[in-house]
């Protein structure tokens, strides 16, 4: 059985999503702890700023689907020390069609906060490599991930769903980019990863003024400093810029907040104009509870208005992509069904070969009997695939197995 639990931006606010962000060093622990409750054949985890999702496969004789979902949810809640009830923030999916459709939509940018944004593809690949290295993937889950990446590539090539250079970072820049005299503004980017790179690229396209960058590991800023006209700020000194810069964009993987009320309480009164703080991180880099006259916070939840605007602009391309997703979902599920046939086909071929090996002069037939065997078994296999509806008709499979394997 394939199952999925999804905690995503559609049903869970960022303050919940950040609690359930799963770090790569937690993957194995989650896999092991779920396995102590139920038997898993495989587990795939993807955790980003907008979602945490667990795709799992259990053995066929698993007593209860509900028990499996309960075990996955309880393991997550225990790991993250969350006692308030997770179910309101969880979407459950069951069955290979529904789950593969969701993953293929996800990899194709159809489930992104910003429709058509393909940053998710790199995140899926990274999670796939981690889970594969840790031997967490079952053949069915691994094939589903590979097929989702294949679908993503085809859809990106054959539709215009990703045209326009959209991403969460560009949506944030668009939101703050309507400020007058942007060329006079100074901006500090905290972080040097992919999201920061996209933000910086967007800032230069909008012709913002002086741009600073800081990162805990200074060496990771080298490629950005070479490519863009940036000013490096030591990570130990970046808070000194709170009094002078106009905008700060945070996009780090820090497990702890980088900016709190403690940092802002004295800064607010010292500033004579507003500072805009943009937090693109999960867990959040900024945790503030107080309201300030000269501080404006833009986080991921505040970008949801851009989602509807973007969807309406791309609705025709969305429909094209959805039709293509259907094709890949069917192909994947046909492959899954054919796996059910494999043991039967192997058994049938073995039985036929056993019968033919008893044929007189089988060993000295110069390959003639072998050729007959090959043709006969191939035709029989094709017939079995047709009669059993590629393995979906379990009653037909039982009868076929009884004919060929029972004494």
Helix/strand/coil (H/E/C) assignment for every residue in the chain: CEEEEEEECCCCCHHHHCCCCCCHHHHHHHHHHHHHHCCEEEEEEEECCCEEEEEEEECCCCCCHHHHHHHHHHHHHHHCCCCCCCHHHCEEEECHHHHHHHHHHHHCCCCCCCCCCCHHHHHHHHHHHHHHHCCCCCHHHHHHHHHHHHHHHHHHHHCCCCCCCCCHHHHHHHHHCCCCCHHHCCEEEECCCHHHHHHHHHHHHCCCCCEEEECCCHHHHHHHHHHCCCEECCHHHHHHHHHCCCEEEECCCCCCCCEEHHHHCCHHHHCCCCEEEEECCCCCCEECCCCCCCEEEEEHHHHHHHHHHHHHHCHHHHHHHHHHHHHHHHHHHHHHHHHHHHHHHHHHHHHHHHHHHCCCCCCCCCCHHHHHHHHHHHHHHHHHHHHCCCCCCHHHHHHHHHHHHCC
97 and 208 inside one domain: no
Spell 186-220 as b/e; 16+ CB within 10 A means b: bbbbbbbeebbbbbbbbbeeeebeebbbbbeeeee
Is residue 322 in some structural domain? no
**Is the domain of 185 the same as that of 144?**
no
Whether residue 196 sits in one domain with residue 53: no
Is there a domain that residue 320 lies in? Answer: no
In angstroms, what CA-CA distances link 374 with 233, 367, 390?
72, 10, 20
Looking at the fold, whether 22 and 94 belong to one and the same domain comes out as: yes
Residue 218 phi, psi (nearest 5)? -60, -35
Q: What is the pLDDT of residue 269?
A: 78
Indicate whether 373 belongs to any domain. yes
Domain boundary pick from 121, 140, 163:
163
Do residues 155 and 17 both lie within one domain? yes
pLDDT in tens, the chain (407 residues): 899 999 999 999 999 999 999 999 999 999 999 999 899 999 999 999 999 999 999 986 655 678 889 999 999 999 999 988 899 999 999 999 999 999 999 999 999 887 888 889 999 999 999 999 999 999 999 999 999 999 999 999 999 887 754 677 777 877 776 666 777 889 999 999 988 888 898 888 878 889 999 999 999 999 999 999 999 999 999 999 999 999 999 999 999 999 999 999 888 778 888 899 999 999 999 999 988 988 999 888 887 766 666 666 678 888 999 999 999 999 999 888 877 776 666 666 676 667 666 665 555 555 666 677 677 766 776 677 666 666 566 677 677 666 665 54
pLDDT at 75: 94
Q: Containing domain of residue 272, as a range?
A: 168-311
Task: Estimate to the nearest angstrom the gap between the alpha carbon of 347 and the chain centroid.
Answer: 38
Q: What is the CATH number of the domain that holds 16?
A: 3.30.460.30
Same domain for 148 and 29, yes or no, is yes
d(CA 8, CA 69) in angstroms, rounded, equals 17
- Checking DSSP bridges between strand 247-250 and strand 259-260, what pairing results, if any? unpaired
Q: Are the C-beta atoms of residues 244 and 233 closer than 8 Å to each other?
A: no
Domains of the chain: total:
3
Q: Cβ contacts of residue 317 below 8 Å, gap of 6+?
A: 116, 159, 160, 161, 163
- On whether both 56 and 107 belong to a single domain, the answer is yes
269 and 386 co-located in one domain: no
Among candidate residues 139, 163, 187, the one where a domain is terminated: 163
- Domain stops at, among 276, 311, 346: 311
pLDDT at position 266: 81
From residue 329, alpha-carbon distances to 74, 91, 322, 391 in Å are 30, 20, 10, 17
Output the domain CATH number for residue 173: 3.40.50.720
**pTM, two decimal places:** 0.75
């Amino acid at each position: 059985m394939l199952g999925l639990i999804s905690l995503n931006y559609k049903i869970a606010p960022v303050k919940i999503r950040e609690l359930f962000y799963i770090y790569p060093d937690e993957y194995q622990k989650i896999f092991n702890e779920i396995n102590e409750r139920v038997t898993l054949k495989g587990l795939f985890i993807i955790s980003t700023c907008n979602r945490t999702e667990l795709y799992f496969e259990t053995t066929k004789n698993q007593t209860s689907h509900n028990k499996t979902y309960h075990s996955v949810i309880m393991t997550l809640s225990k790991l993250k020390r969350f006692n308030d009830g997770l179910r309101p923030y969880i979407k459950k999916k069951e069955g290979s069609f529904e789950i593969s459709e969701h993953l293929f939509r996800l990899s194709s940018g159809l489930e992104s906060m910003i429709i058509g944004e393909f940053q998710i593809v790199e995140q899926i690949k990274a999670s796939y490599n981690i889970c594969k290295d840790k031997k967490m993937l079952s053949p069915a889950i691994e094939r589903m991930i590979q097929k989702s990446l294949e679908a993503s590539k085809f859809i990106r090539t054959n539709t215009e769903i990703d045209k326009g250079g959209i991403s969460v970072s560009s949506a944030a820049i668009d939101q703050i980019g309507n400020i007058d005299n942007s060329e006079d503004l100074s901006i500090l980017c905290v972080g040097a990863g992919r999201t920061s790179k996209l933000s910086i690229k967007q800032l230069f396209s909008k012709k913002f003024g002086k741009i600073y960058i800081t990162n805990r590991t200074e060496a990771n800023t080298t490629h950005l400093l070479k490519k863009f006209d940036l000013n490096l700020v030591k990570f130990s000194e970046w808070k000194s810029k709170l009094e002078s810069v106009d905008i700060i964009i945070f996009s780090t993987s820090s497990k702890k907040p980088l900016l709190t009320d403690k940092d802002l309480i004295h800064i607010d009164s010292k500033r004579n104009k507003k500072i805009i703080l943009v937090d693109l991180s999960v867990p959040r880099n900024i945790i503030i509870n107080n309201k300030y006259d000269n501080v404006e916070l833009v986080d991921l939840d505040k970008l949801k208005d851009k989602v509807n605007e973007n969807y309406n602009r791309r609705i025709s391309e969305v429909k094209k992509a959805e039709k293509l997703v259907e094709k890949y979902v069917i192909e994947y599920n046909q492959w899954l069904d054919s796996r059910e046939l494999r043991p039967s086909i192997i058994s049938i071929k073995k039985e036929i070969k056993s019968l033919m090996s008893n044929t007189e002069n089988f060993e000295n037939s110069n390959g003639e009997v072998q050729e007959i065997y090959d043709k006969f078994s191939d035709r029989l296999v094709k017939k079995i695939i047709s009669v059993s509806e590629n393995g979906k008709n379990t009653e037909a499979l039982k009868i076929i197995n009884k004919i060929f394997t029972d004494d």
